[in-house]
Amino acid sequence: MNIWVQLAIWVVSYFVSAAARPKPPQPKPAAFGDFQFPQSTEGTPQAVVFGDVWTSDWTVLGVGQYRTQPIKQKGGKK
């Protein structure tokens, strides 16, 4: 057999096997319910802190904005 015929058979078999393999499932994006944040209960005294400090007891009163769309930003001039 000619080497070019063998090479052509190899290329065709590669593309057939690549097209026939199963596609992996896409992971679902993280939802807000997937995270577990400690929450305060009604009547619990809350400390107001300005700046960066270490505390022994902390509570999450607010959580930042979780985006479901990627951030698209143009780069500067190069």
pTM of the model: 0.33
pLDDT at 54 (0 to 100): 75
Report how far residue 72's alpha carbon sits from residue 57's, in angstroms, rounded to the nearest whole number: 37
Per-position b or e across 12-35, b if 16+ CB within 10 A of its CB? eeeeeeeeeeeeeeeeeeeeeeee
**Is the model's pLDDT at 6 over the cut of 90?**
yes
13: alpha, beta or left? (left if phi > 0; alpha if psi -120 to 50): alpha
Q: What is the pLDDT of residues 15-58, one digit of tens each?
A: 999 999 998 898 888 887 787 776 667 777 777 777 777 777 66
Report how far residue 59's alpha carbon sits from residue 57's, in angstroms, rounded to the nearest whole number: 7
